[in-house]
Amino acid sequence: MKVVFCDGGLSNRLNALVFALILRQRYGHEWRICWPINNWCGAKLETLFKIDLPIDNDSIEFFKQNEHKYKLLLHENQCNFAEDLVVYQQQLKDYSDYETILNAHENVLYFNNSIPAFVDIQDIRDAIQDLFLSDGIRRTVIEICEQNCIDDSVLGLHIRKTDFGDTVDDQALFEMVKTHSAKFFVCSDSQEVSDRFSELNNCFIFPKTSYPEKLNSDNAWQAWTTDPEGRQFPFNILRSEGSIVEALVDLLILSKTKLVKTSNSTFFTMAQIIKHTEAFSAQLSPIKATMNNDSVTQGEILNLLNLIRPWHMADETKIRIGADADGGYVLPSRAQHSNLVLSIGIGDEVSFDKALAKCGAKIFQFDHTISDTPSDHPNIKFFAKGWGVHDTPPLLSLQSMINIADWSQAVYPILKFDTEGAEWDCLNEVNEEDLARFEIITGEFHGFQNLLNRDFFEKVKSVWSKLAKTHYVVHLHANNAGGLILIGGIPMPRLLELTFLRKESATFTGHSREPIPGPLDRPNLAGFSDLYLRAF
């Protein structure tokens, strides 16, 4: 197994990952990504990107304890690895040197915070096609760039302060921007810098909710600091998940501008790479709704939303099952007595499944994007299969998934899904009888920015009308990762979480008056406010 160790700040990690993807594309081998959560980066890789490779969060200390199992390709020996096991990156001059080592050793650890100078732009362009932005980040960047006309006519400045201090003269840049006629985009990891530049009329700042903090609050930003792995660096940095998410948004916006060089930081270099390789350009293209003579009207949208207006359960309370963030769902309390759950689309977030497994439910997990479940609970059985309309490897239809389970003694069966948009086609083709099997159906519904597209609108209407025949919506929550947009003059989240209860299972006394979000709801994306909706 070849392992790419992605550590340090965001751009350092991306440098390591990109070159590992290049090596994988050139020479094959089985690869996994190690992305530790520490003071340098508090965000999981899966929060930022989607990639079809196994991921773990082993620290550098894990590899120190197991050093003799690996050949170590390092840019520096931070943990006193045995020197006979180490090959330093500066000793490797071209691809053939890497090929020799990869072929000669079964287990290799690659850890370099920069992309080697000999790498061609085309190699980066080809490799980065395997890396996909998370939906929430992608949509945020698209929306910001559209709303603020961010393109190559805007001058982009990166002013990094918390780790490189006064290397960048932000005061001189401020005076330059203040007297310049052009429009600027400024990204910075300093709240003071961001606040000052945001006062200029010709300057746009992506408004943040999180900034880096000091690992040791008593010391300066550039004080020598020992990190949790015992390594010493002249940087006193603590970056939360929220600050990393917003740094990636900043990086992607910066890459769409006319870049003005302010430093040799890896952050600025990564912005150049993204820009000149046109990485993510297709993913960040604005999504245009189809408008024609058969365009969707506001009245049709209002009628559609009436299908998911939540109902009040007179004889049932709600509970939250799973994480206090993305991965947790609000369900009728009887869910904790379920003994059968189909869980489709899990990634690395299985808190919902584990909670129900601990209550005694048999959990059948389905996900074709990972090789195995992150949980070792004996009540959980994993299938490396995705959800499809038909049985087409690696996909299974819902009917085939249902047939895997034993329904003879099923109590309060649950269907849970988060399939990044695949739910529409799959639910549209599911038999009503199969849906009626489930006491509770809960999942995330994607893509509402496309509601003005007639084909998409009709698909949504078909799915919700089918569900409405046998189930009532009993809980609705907007996923804040996608933000709000106006569709036909109606504020609408891009992502919705809905929970349905079978009609015959409870007494319903009319539509719910509970606020949205309700008391059990939590923001999916930590560090960002939840989305408040008027009752439907």
The reply to whether 359 and 441 lie within a common domain is yes
18 & 160 share domain: no
Cβ(346)–Cβ(367) below 8 Å: yes
Over its C-alpha atoms, the chain yields an Rg (Å, rounded) of: 25
369 and 338 in a single domain? The answer is: yes
- 108-163 residue pLDDT tens: 999 998 999 899 888 888 888 878 998 888 888 998 888 888 988 999 999 887 77
Where is the domain boundary, 100, 130, 160?
130
More confident residue, 471 or 231: 471
pLDDT digits (tens, 9 = 90+) for 138-147: 888 998 888 8
Do 121 and 187 belong to one domain? no
The three-state secondary structure class of 228 is coil
If asked whether residues 126 and 153 sit together in one domain, one would say no
Query: Which helix (H) or strand (E) is 292 found in, with range?
Result: none
Question: Which residue is associated with the tokens 């020799």?
Answer: 100
User: Which pLDDT score, from 0 to 100, does residue 247 have?
Assistant: 93
Assess whether 49 and 170 both reside in one domain. Answer: no
Residues 115 and 153 occupy one common structural domain: no
Identify whether residues 159 and 108 lie together within a single domain: no
Q: Which of 412, 408, 407 shows the shortest CA–CA distance to 506? A: 412
Question: How much is the average pLDDT of 15-20?
Answer: 94
Q: What's the confidence (pLDDT) of residue 468?
A: 94
Residue 526 lies in a domain: no
Q: Tell me how far apart the alpha carbons of residues 384 and 370 are, in angstroms, rounded to a whole number.
A: 7
pLDDT grade for 292, boundaries at 50, 70 and 90: very low
Cis upstream peptide for 286 (omega within 30°):
no
Per-residue model confidence (pLDDT) at position 446? 94
User: What interhelical angle do 241-255 and 10-27 show, nearest 10?
Assistant: 70
527: left (phi over 0), alpha (psi -120 to 50) or beta: left
Residues 243 and 383 both lie in one domain: no
Q: Is residue 286 part of a domain?
A: no
Q: Whole domain around residue 474: which residue ranges?
A: 298-511
**236 and 314 inside one domain:** no
Does any domain span residue 270?
no
269 in any annotated domain: no
Looking at the predicted structure, is the pLDDT value of residue 350 above 90? yes
pLDDT digits (tens, 9 = 90+) for 84-113: 999 998 999 999 999 999 999 999 999 998
- The answer on 169 and 77 residing in a single domain is no
Residue 60 lies in a domain: yes
Q: Which domain-ending residue is among 130, 160, 188?
A: 130
d(CA 64, CA 230): 12
**Residue at 521 is within a domain:** no
Domain count across the chain: 3
Q: Is it the case that residue 505 has pLDDT exceeding 70? A: yes
Question: Is 249 inside a domain boundary?
Answer: yes
78 or 184, which is more confident: 184
Last residue of a domain, one of 198, 222, 255: 255
User: In this structure, is residue 17 part of a structural domain?
Assistant: yes
Determine the Cα–Cα distance for residues 51 and 32; give it in Å rounded to an integer.
Answer: 11
Same domain, 120 and 165: no
Could you tell me the CATH number of the domain that includes residue 417?
Answer: 3.40.50.150
